[in-house]
Homo-oligomer: A and B are copies of this chain.
Amino acid sequence: MTRDLEIITTIFKDLSFTQEESQLLVRSFEKLHLPKHSLLLEAGQHVYDQYYVAEGCLRTYYIAPDGKEHTVQFAIQDWWISDYTAFFNSSTASMHIECIQDATLFKISKVDMELLYKAMPRIESYFRKKMERAFASFQKRIIANLSQSATERYLNFINTYPNIEQNVKNYHIASYLGVTTQSLSRIRKELVQG
């Protein structure tokens, strides 16, 4: 009862719950703090959980056979993060998740998710809509990757994540955009000089 109701007031702030439902929610989540530079997940590990970012910044990245890193996603406040392919299939991760800025997370297992879905269909609605938005934004990114130059994608990026540049390294952005750090450096130089 007196346990941490943060989950309800942050993650599900737009929904309302009975006492019983609230308790189920609170029991399903676990709060955790993660320091900068730590790894939340490594490739090869079994993925049981997904995480809600209450504070901080993380990134998901894939290491290709040639050793190069590719940033798949950044997660800031109010985003969810996991290796979703592995999470959905209850299998092992092919990606790493790194904490870029000290973070506060709420963790929930797939099993508990399914229980929540059964108990409260409107939670499933909430996540279906989340997925729809994520789907749309991934699609947008695919189009951007197909149709835009590296410079355009960079401008796009700093528009989409206006405040992120203070936190993340250049090579994080480069590996998100699909260019080398050298190229990104040249792109910026070009933009400054006009």
Interface residue ranges, A against B (CB under 8 Å): 62, 64, 68, 70, 72, 84-85, 88-89, 117, 121, 124-125, 127-128, 131-136, 138-143, 145-147, 175, 178
How many copies of this kind of chain does the complex include?
Answer: 2
User: Are B72 and A139 within 8 A (Cβ)?
Assistant: yes
A82, chain B: closest CB distance, angstroms: 11
A70 neighbours in B (Cβ, 8 Å): 143, 146-147
> Contacts A124-B128, A138-B142, A145-B178 hold; do A133 and B88 have CB atoms under 8 A apart?
yes
| 10 A-B residue pairs with CB within 8 Å | A68-B147, A72-B139, A84-B132, A88-B132, A121-B121, A128-B131, A131-B131, A131-B132, A135-B138, A142-B142
A88 neighbours in B (Cβ, 8 Å): 132-133, 135-136
User: Are A146 and B178 within 8 A (Cβ)?
Assistant: yes
Alpha-carbon gap, A68 to B127, bound state (A): 35
The 9 lowest CB-CB distance pairs between A and B, nearest first, are: A131-B131, A138-B138, A64-B147, A85-B136, A121-B121, A70-B146, A128-B128, A146-B178, A88-B132
